[in-house]
Structures are given as structure tokens and as C-alpha cells.
Chains A and B, each alone.
Chain A
Amino acid sequence: SQQGEEDPQALSIQEGENATMNCSYKTSINNLQWYRQNSGRGLVHLILIRSNEREKHSGRLRVTLDTSKKSSSLLITASRAADTASYFCATSKNDYKLSFGAGTTVTVRA
């Protein structure tokens, strides 16, 4: 399985702090993506990084990818209460099927 596994499982931070979560996967991939899920809601695509990319930014998000270690990190800078959610990494290979990790639950305290 190429499924990603996130670390930590849960993270609690103060508003304004940065949140970092990691994802590891097992097999070679075409790309890795991060999704956000607010409680009981659907998944929202955040950012996609291709296997030949090492770092990508989108607003307050920064994603890194290390294919030699089969790992990725998601950094959310200057967190806000609205960032409280679960964050999932998802990998895909040559097809479009997404393999999701178990997720990191982030709580941003006001």
C-alpha cells in the first residue's frame, strides 16, 4: 500500500503559532497532496506537490517533499482559530486513486 501516515495524530497550538505535521508513505508516488476536513464535513484540497518538486507554498501553507525518505511535511504559519480541522495527506501513483493517511487533528486555541 502507498498509504500515507501522519504524525502527530493530534496537535494543539495557540493562535498565531505555527503548526507542523508530517506524512510518511511506503511506495513511489506521482504526487502527494494535503487535504483539510472540518468536523463532519467534506475534504478540501489544500496543495499538491509533485514527486519532482521539493517545496511548495500556498498562502500560509508550506509543503516539503523528500522522496528519498518518503516523507512530506505541512507547515501552517500564523495559525488562526479557523485552521482547527483534521489534515490528511494523500498519495497517488500513476492512476488518480488517492490513498489517505489517518490524519492529524489540529486544534488552534484562541
Chain B
Amino acid sequence: EPEVTQTPSHQVTQMGQEVILRCVPISNHLYFYWYRQILGQKVEFLVSFYNNEISEKSEIFDDQFSVERPDGSNFTLKIRSTKLEDSAMYFCASGTFEQYFGPGTRLTVT
């Protein structure tokens, strides 16, 4: 069964550093998403991506964040200058109304 994969599973970075989280969505899906879940809190929508451009973004997704589909299979989330409050589990998903989630990347900012 096709699945969404994410790398790395855990990323530790220092405050102010740039991080890139990677995802491989399901191959025939056209819509991609990033969500995040701060420990003990709700899963929050960050951004949706379709046809090589952002289709919607939340208030959380400010200028520090960017997404890219650098090739035909990868979908990345970049955080330019990480803050302590960016520590969270980041989930990639693909699909439309029914979305398939990856296992997540746990980002720890120290």
C-alpha cells in the first residue's frame, strides 16, 4: 500500500539555524500539506500546495517558512531561522478530502 514517507524522523537544531524537512507524498496525489503538532496540543494546518504553488496557508506559516517541490517526488518544508517555539512534530500529508499522513519529523530546537 502506498504511503507518505518523511525524513529525518528526528531533527535537533540550534535556535537560529535553518532546517529542511523532507517528505515523499503518494505518487499520484496532487495536493500536499504540512501540519504541525506541538507536544500535547492539536494538530495545526500550516500550508497546502498544489500545482507547484501554495494554495492556502495559515497564520503560523510566516516568512520564516517556505515549501518547495524540488523534483517530481519530494516535498520540502524549510524553516529559515528556527525558534524555540518551532519545536514540534511536523507531519506531511497528501490527498484531497481524505489525507494520508507521514510518520512525522520531530523537530527539537535548543
Identify the A interface with B (CB < 8 A).
3, 30-31, 33, 35, 41-45, 48, 88, 90, 92, 95-103
Contact A43 B91 (CB under 8 A): yes
Known interface pairs A41-B104, A42-B91, A95-B48; A100-B42 also in contact (CB < 8 Å): yes
Q: Contacts of A99 on B, CB cut-off 8 Å? A: 45
Contact A44 B99 (CB under 8 A): no
The closest CB in chain A to the CB of B40 belongs to A102
Contact A41 B97 (CB under 8 A): no
Q: How far is the CB of B44 from chain A (nearest CB, A)?
A: 7
Assess whether B15 is interfacial by the CB under 8 Å rule.
no
Q: Residue-by-residue, is B13-50 near A (CB-CB < 8 Å gives 1, otherwise 0)?
A: 00000000000000000010101000001111100100
Known interface pairs A95-B48, A96-B48; A41-B42 also in contact (CB < 8 Å): no
Apart from A43-B43, A102-B42, 19 more pairs, CB < 8 Å: A3-B42, A42-B4, A42-B91, A42-B103, A42-B104, A44-B101, A45-B100, A88-B43, A92-B97, A96-B31, A96-B33, A96-B95, A97-B45, A98-B33, A98-B43, A99-B45, A100-B35, A100-B42, A102-B41
Q: How far is the CA of A97 from the CA of B42 in the complex (A)?
A: 14
Q: How far is the CA of A99 from the CA of B35 in the complex (A)?
A: 10
Interface size on B, residues (CB 8 A): 24
Q: How far is the CB of B96 from chain A (nearest CB, A)?
A: 5
Which of B4, B42, B100, B101 interacts with A103 by CB under 8 Å? Answer: B42
Contact B101 A96 (CB under 8 A): no
The closest CB in chain A to the CB of B45 belongs to A97
Q: Contacts of B98 on A, CB cut-off 8 Å? A: 33, 45, 48
Q: How far is the CA of A27 from the CA of B108 in the complex (A)?
A: 34
Q: How far is the CA of A42 from the CA of B33 in the complex (A)?
A: 14
Known interface pairs A43-B91, A44-B101; A96-B42 also in contact (CB < 8 Å): no
Q: How far is the CB of A89 from chain B (nearest CB, A)?
A: 11
Q: Contacts of B93 on A, CB cut-off 8 Å? A: 43
